[in-house]
Structure 1
Amino acid sequence: MDKIDFVLPWVDINDKNWRSKRSSFIDGYSQNMDAVSDARYRDMGTLKFVLRSIEKNCPWFNKIYLITDSQIPDWLDMNSQRVVVVDHNQMFLDLNDLPVFNSVAIEMNLHNIKDLSDKFVYLNDDMIIWNKLEKSRFFVNDFPVDYFTHGWIPRNKLFQALRDIETVGHSLNNVFTLFNENLAPYNIKNDSLYHCSYSRKDKIINFLFSNIFRKIYWMENWHHPQPYLRSSIIDFSNKFGDEMRKVSKNRFRDKTDLSQYMYRYWNLINGKFYPHKYRDGLTTNINSINSFDNLVHNINSSTNFVCFNDSIHLSDLEYELVSKKLVTLLESRFPEKATFELKDII
């Protein structure tokens, strides 16, 4: 049977127990606002609609694995067989790493989820599947559907000096360093580098990567639901397990983090993907009402994914306004309750 699961982490920032745990570990990190800001954990009420969008638009899914820290959404029917709540202590091999408040540390342990299917789609709780999709949007010939496009601008020390990049930028650079030091030079097949769905610009930069650079300086990413193979992540962990275990111990975001995109890059350089570059996703860092309105305005009939990512620079006041507008939008798009929602909860 061709099973495909969905996996996503979620946190309830209003949970008093969770806030108490976080405050007891936060002292050594208080200077790094990118790591400890409440905005890193804000919940705009999208989780319910993310799950509704999966059931409505990917009805072929096997199970949804919801990763939490001893938290359960009050609307979730725990008797459902299609949503499995996974506590951190059920996936971290070293329980001394817990509690953890860093999504990257969680992502170092995805392959440890019990009974997770080999094919799964990883997403965040702000990513909505907007239209109905077939399995082939995510997997073809048992491989993740993905694309290889090298970046034009390396995020090196000069770039970092000119722009104050966040920890996510450091985590990606750490991945590229890890790969270049251990896996270069790369031998990537032409059909992965020059697929007909790639633009001419994509093919030019891939040619430069393959023939001139010979190292990865930056990779283009799409920020929407990402297909993975559990077996491929296990292969990655067999080679880089020590590095993954170190990051698993970072309770908060840290400049030494890696990124879950390393599983994607591992597939790309090893040819374990079906090449096709779709342009069906919208995302932006929502830092104002205007940026939210612009994102919504750009949604059209060809949009399959929308990521409503609120920036840490979105003020608390505008955050409340954006949240209300967003919930209203999603209620109109997905008005019907999912089968795994409690019927007496509004």
Structure 2
Amino acid sequence: MHDIDTTPPDATLREGASSSPGTEDDEPQAQDTPGASEVPGTTDAREALDTPDVPSATTRAGNRNPEVSWPVRLYRRSVPVRLRRAVVARTSPAARARAKRWFTTVPSPGDALGRIRAAHAVRRHPDLFRGPDRSLRMAGGAPRAVLVTPDPTPLGARNANAARVREALDAAGVDHFSVRGRRDTSAVVAVAVAAADRARAHRALARACADAPGYVTAVEAGERLRRTAPGFRAATWRAVAEADVIRLTWYHGDPEGRLVLGPKYGCDVEFWAAGEETGDTLTAPRHNRTAEVVPRTDDPVEVSETLFTALASPARPLPPVRTRKEFARPAPEDVRFPVDAVYTWVDGHDPDWLARRAETAGHAYHEEAANAARYASHDELRHSLRSLHLYAPWLRTIHLVTDRQVPSWLDTDVPGLRIVDHTEIFSDPGLLPTFNSHAIESQLHHIEGLSEHFLYFNDDVFLGRPTRPQDFFHANGLTQFFPSPALIPPGAPNERDVPVSAAGKNNRALIEEMSSTVIGHKMKHTPHALRRSVLYEIEERFPEQHRATASRRFRSLDDLSVVSSLHHYYAFLTARAVPGQLRYAYLDISDPVVGVRLDRLLARRDRTVFCLNDTVSGEEDVEAQRALLTPFLEAYFPVPGPYERGAVSGRAWIGREAGAGAGPVDGPADGPAHRQAVGPEADGTAHGRAA
């Protein structure tokens, strides 16, 4: 456990905004969600390129999610905010919840139309929708042929789509080169075209969409997508005949129909025009990161595709692709250093661990540190690791720090995962065993082989959508930290202080001593971006206080919170860190209305990071909370990751060429509610913490 943001959840659901606790159910926050105002399945729908990846139509328990039922969405679009707030003021949360649940039983005209369209699509193109590697699923109210793979990931879908485009152009003899686009989730392939070449490229891509069912849309000004249409129909290509940028998408999903990755991870084809005067240059149809004019006749070069997306890890280079010299070198903003992740974890119900704890003299000074909620298992670690696999494939190695424990489901032989015992990081074995998370965290920089730059996670922190290293680090090595609006209380530590406040006060005293600066803010409960060298420097500069924290077996009033607060302020004052911004949600699972917030988070998927935290519940609350959280986590992160025993690793698929990655299971022509994505398009063990 580290220094969490104790601001009420309502105030942390949206950056820079707050709402009163009683209005959360019906506040019009959907307006903040990219694409949320669009009507799914309509012929004039537009799709923002950053539409949330995999919106879910199901609630935590597998029923229809009331937050995405069509009457609720229609109500939020059509009723003015002032009237909606008046309704909230005059009705109870329970009444609104009942109404929303009833709305989920109202048949959706869009669903009915979608089923009709799906049946028509199967009759018209039976071969495209059936086979061991394909499934028909509804996405945005439209039937979509989905390529099935055991472990679909955003990076894998992006790479597979780009590979299909390149293969099609190569087979037709159409010259092309990769471009450094402005988004990391979609690839960009440029085609140097005369009028005849454009038609030839269209024919080649149409054949690729017929071989494996692909979809096409024109990319308009402002990076907006027109309605996605089947690329295996001639009418689609007539509609995009004059478009300077088109996006090719092959939908990817898992065998069970729980995850669909769509146009957000497609491949853009740009048609670069020859210079008007001499014809010896090519000009881009839109802005990119590097060069918008290149010589027409320059020789191509080959570089790893890793250079074209920040989602890829430099430690696992992608295959080479053809490009021009202008795009073949790193840019100043590229993060080129390796980044690791570190978790601390304890099985609080392990009999051996409990025996060691009982035999150790002392106890935590504050009841929060010994609360049952700290050791209740909702399988957070499993799903937090899944979130890293999906949304941070650029991480090099994950280090799991434990006290002679390993989760029973964890596959410790998977490359990129290391189990680190406390004995490996405490230079003085006399300080063990310890049950103080502040003590354990103070030793993380001693992990052998840990990268200079790394992220520290608690297992109740999750990534909610694709991230880049630049979300946490600058390319020049600076780390970013995320201050909370919550303030460190005034005065010296006292026994009424919760551990986060007491440690914050001790951090404040050290910072004031070194810089005459008084710090005031706690930190948000996010991944913490850290530098190993800064942590060593803190250990050397404050040896007495640092060792005292490491030596306390239980939380104390005199502890420092080294990695979750002190590092950030110290690094900032020594010009090695800066404040950052991150779309973030903190959900207190003891909150009576947390179920509504979970449904909303599941429907929108618009937070880069979210935390599911609890410090006040008793053992009598654990089962009810598990009934909420376990289905939610399974719905948000449904596909097992490579770190789980028996799971199919997706690392190989990340760089796999087109045509591979299809799983052996054929999905149904039309699935239950949880197989339908909402939005303009589909993209889409006991645990605990030391006291």
Deviations 1:168-223 (A, max 9, x none): 21011001011112x123xxxxxxxxxxxxxxxxxxxxxxxxxxxxx314124221
The reply on whether 1:223 has 2:553 as its aligned counterpart is: no
Which stretch has the larger CA shift, 232-241 or 62-71?
A: 232-241
Task: Specify which of 498, 515, 537 is matched with residue 184 of structure 1.
Answer: 515
* Aligned-partner Cα distance in 2 for 1:147–1:38: 28
TM-score normalised over the length of structure 1:
0.82
Query: Could you tell me how far 1:268 is from its partner in structure 2?
Result: 1.4
Three-state SS of the structure 2 residue aligned to 1:85 is strand
The reply on whether 1:266 has 2:600 as its aligned counterpart is: no
Partner residue of 1:170?
502
Preserved CA contact (<8 Å) 2:480 2:577: yes
Alignment of 1:126-141 (within 5 A): 126-141=460-475
Q: Which amino acid aligns with 1:67?
A: V
Q: Check 1:166–1:147 CA distance in 2 against 1; reply closer, same or farther (3 A cut).
A: closer
Show structure 1 runs of 5+ residues with no match: 186-214
Q: Check 1:84–1:325 CA distance in 2 against 1; reply closer, same or farther (3 A cut).
A: same
Q: Which amino acid aligns with 1:241?
A: P
* Aligned-partner Cα distance in 2 for 1:41–1:243: 28
How well do the aligned residues superpose, as a CA RMSD in angstroms? 2.5
* Aligned-partner Cα distance in 2 for 1:70–1:121: 22
Alignment of 1:204-215 (within 5 A): 215=517
Partner residue of 1:7?
342
Query: Could you tell me how far 1:45 is from its partner in structure 2?
Result: 1.3
Preserved CA contact (<8 Å) 2:526 2:611: yes
* Aligned-partner Cα distance in 2 for 1:156–1:32: 18
Which has more helix, going by share of residues? 1
Q: Percent identity?
A: 27
Task: Specify which of 265, 274, 282 is matched with residue 585 of structure 2.
Answer: 282
Partner residue of 1:249?
551
Task: Specify which of 314, 337, 346 is matched with residue 640 of structure 2.
Answer: 337
Three-state SS of the structure 1 residue aligned to 2:593 is helix
Three-state SS of the structure 2 residue aligned to 1:29 is coil
TM-score normalised over the length of structure 2:
0.42
* Aligned-partner Cα distance in 2 for 1:107–1:11: 13
Show structure 2 runs of 5+ residues with no match: 1-313, 315-336, 649-684, 686-691
* Aligned-partner Cα distance in 2 for 1:7–1:73: 16
Partner residue of 1:117?
451
* Aligned-partner Cα distance in 1 for 2:532–2:469: 17
Q: Which amino acid aligns with 1:309?
A: N
Q: Which amino acid aligns with 1:276?
A: G
Deviations 1:20-73 (A, max 9, x none): 1111125x3277423333333333211000001001100111011001000011
Q: Check 1:110–1:153 CA distance in 2 against 1; reply closer, same or farther (3 A cut).
A: closer
Three-state SS of the structure 2 residue aligned to 1:139 is coil
* Aligned-partner Cα distance in 2 for 1:145–1:30: 31
Three-state SS of the structure 2 residue aligned to 1:234 is helix
Partner residue of 1:205?
none
Partner residue of 2:378?
44
Task: Specify which of 352, 356, 374 is matched with residue 17 of structure 1.
Answer: 352
Q: Which amino acid aligns with 2:547?
A: R
Query: Could you tell me how far 1:14 is from its partner in structure 2?
Result: 1.4
Q: Which amino acid aligns with 1:45?
A: D
* Aligned-partner Cα distance in 2 for 1:184–1:17: 45
Task: Specify which of 397, 409, 421 is matched with residue 87 of structure 1.
Answer: 421
Three-state SS of the structure 2 residue aligned to 1:140 is coil
Preserved CA contact (<8 Å) 2:589 2:613: yes
Q: Which amino acid aligns with 1:235?
A: E
* Aligned-partner Cα distance in 2 for 1:19–1:133: 37
Q: Check 1:118–1:45 CA distance in 2 against 1; reply closer, same or farther (3 A cut).
A: same
* Aligned-partner Cα distance in 2 for 1:30–1:154: 20
Q: Which amino acid aligns with 2:339?
A: I
Deviations 1:132-175 (A, max 9, x none): 111111111222123578x78551239x88x9431221011001
Partner residue of 2:606?
302
Task: Specify which of 237, 240, 265 is matched with residue 542 of structure 2.
Answer: 240
Q: Which amino acid aligns with 2:343?
A: L
Alignment of 1:36-75 (within 5 A): 36-75=370-409
* Aligned-partner Cα distance in 2 for 1:110–1:232: 12
Partner residue of 1:318?
621
Q: Larger Cα Rg: Structure 1 or Structure 2?
A: 2
Q: How many residues align?
A: 310
Q: Check 1:220–1:103 CA distance in 2 against 1; reply closer, same or farther (3 A cut).
A: closer
Deviations 1:295-324 (A, max 9, x none): 55356443111100112x213232211122
